[in-house]
Structure 1
Amino acid sequence: MKKEKMILVPAAFLMTAMLAFPVMASERIEEVTIDISAVLTDSDNLEVEAEVSDDGCYVDEVTVTNTPSGDWNDSTKPKVKVTLGAESGYTFSTGLGRSDVYLGNDDQTVTSVSRSTSKLSVYVTLPKIEDIDTDYDSDDDLEVYDLFWDDSYGGVACWEGSDSAKKYQVRLYRDGSAVGSTYTTTNDYYNFCGSFAKSGSYTFKVKAIRGNNETSWQESDSKDVNSSEASAIYANRTAAAKYYGSGSSGSNNQTSSSSSSTADGAWLRDGNGWWWCNPDKTYPVANWKLINNVWYYFNQSGYMTENQWVMNNNRWYYCGVSGALVKSQWVQTNGAWYYCGADGAMLTSQMIGGQYYVDKNGVWVQ
């Protein structure tokens, strides 16, 4: 019978043989180029996509890190985190930094980079929301229509817009000439009562804006008023502001935020004055209330205090002609000048602005 021969190979020999075969080293990725595109949808959601053009890596995840709880503000710059993964046989170089990341758009900025051998996270700041392209359905075109004057107060410009509009710009004209500046608002109305200074034929123009898209100017019908009618409309300026909220009168080229110009409740008026009705039908009494980002004081009867000093926690505060708490301003009452600080409290026994001294009673010593 033929016997098979067995050959025993020492383990040390096997180890030596294995080490004789070369191990393929991973190729290092020294730089990357990323193309990032962003678009605002009709729901004000920001959609961001990223592509990488380099071999050896891929886009694993794209995240917007500063998404707001509500709508995007036009001046906000979105911040994006782009995570890249290394493909098999590749690793990210330990020396890969911000200067080694190239973006396809000049208006985007790499702010920081973090890495491991298999993952690379690139943090990028995009341009302002107002400079980002928009995308909305053609059946929901950006438009402004049905311009009219609110008959209740006479000088409030109103219009119908579309959900696609991010903001509006509005101008007032008297006898064909512009009155004041161009104003920006997020509302579909604007309180011009305070601009009815004299008789004339008044019109207003408005256009809708969203990102880089905007409509042409649309013009209202004329409103012809004589001197007495203009004075009556001008006198309605405070009442209109209370009814519509502080956002009805934005400032030059500034956006009035709808979130800060709308409060729960309503202003009401009777023969004794203005008072505030809460949603539960209660009203503030002998207390302060913040309404549309403005503080008002309501007396023991629940009526808003106007042109009066109010003592609260042993400090004096002044409510002006509109009832609003006066802050960081001089106030003249009974022939004397007083200064209300940043929190509205009257200042005493100190220099104001380094050149005006108020005594222990708050009176400016001239």
Structure 2
Amino acid sequence: MAERKWKKISTWMAAWVMAVVFAVSGAQTAFAATSYVNSVSITLDVTPTVGESLPDLDVGYNSDNCEVSIPNNDKYDIVSAKWSSTKNDVKIGGTYTMKVTLKTLNDYRFSSSSYTSSKVKVKNGTFVSASRTSSDRLVVTVKTKPAKGDLDAPGEAYWQTTKSGSSDLGLAKWEAVEDASYEVYLYRGSKNVYKSGEIHTSSCDLFSYMSSKGTYTFKVRALPSNDEVSKYASKSDWTISDEVYIDENDAARAAKKKPSSGNNSSTNNSGNSQQAPSNVNVVGWILDGNRWYYRYPDGTYLKNGWGFIGNIWYLFDANGMMLTGWQMKNGVYYYMNGDGKMQTGWLLYNNTWYYLSESGAMVTGWITLGDKAYYLGGDGGMLTGWQNIDGQIYYLYPDGHKAVNEVIDTFYVDQDGIWRKPQ
């Protein structure tokens, strides 16, 4: 009897010990399984073709030759990659965002802390943001490099007039191309008689180079407007104008005219002003050394203010010298390019973007262009990233536009673009 009771106790003790062992083992296993994915890597092999729709996206590992891939690993896998928008055809210089969904493997988890650019490596693209939708799902927003291609050729090249004796004879014009400057070649018959430097306007006065009787044409092509654009854009094909005939009288008139646009000047005349030349009897544009002046028929010069010449605004100092670069007038900043032309729209200067209104004035504060809002700081420079503006926190994408109704780095910004700290 005692022996049977002892056997029962022994059996119970053995079962209890086994239960404890399994419990401890299970706890250790559960504890060991709490491992996190500390960083992820995404490779883009996407080359959007200018003028076409965005390509389909296949996903896989780097060895699979897919458009979007990750390295072989045992921590996370790639589920899908989808374009944020496929409405428009690819434009030269355009960058396009996609959302890449990752999932964990083998009991790994995505951390609740932010996955920033230091934790997300993107090859052949740019990291935008990452959002953990659950412990096993991470959605990474990435952006392609600018789409490369040739600039569009000017759509039409034409003479302002072909009428003999006209003051506009020899004025070459063409349709403007976005993000482009231009170069122009002038021909008399098949002979090239003039090659321009880089021109930042969509017109060029060629009359002074038409000093021989004959039939003239010009051709024009678009060039990248700055070093940034040249990273993704190449010069365009040529566009050829119609013909204009210059008779003997017009040729004689052209021979007396000085080059009159300043289009080839790249000198920054923001200082070292000198008095306008007095020993000349020509009118219009006058080049004195490397400085441009504008002389009226009565012998006086346009000075200390704005001049609207050939449908272009120029700015002159107190001595009549045409100004270039940043200029302040009546407390407002303007930017005059190397040709003296007042700039409008976006301007990339020293790797910082500025926006100049239609009046040329440098903009500060919020500005809405189309359906996107941007913020220009007190110095006019466009802001990006997380910013405290007037006591509110906003996120501005690398191209400057404000994020709205999105999750950025696990933080939600509302329909006004504001992140609100949980109470």
Q: TM-score range by the shorter chain?
A: 0.3 to 0.5
| TM-score, normalised relative to structure 1 | 0.42
| TM-score, normalised relative to structure 2 | 0.37
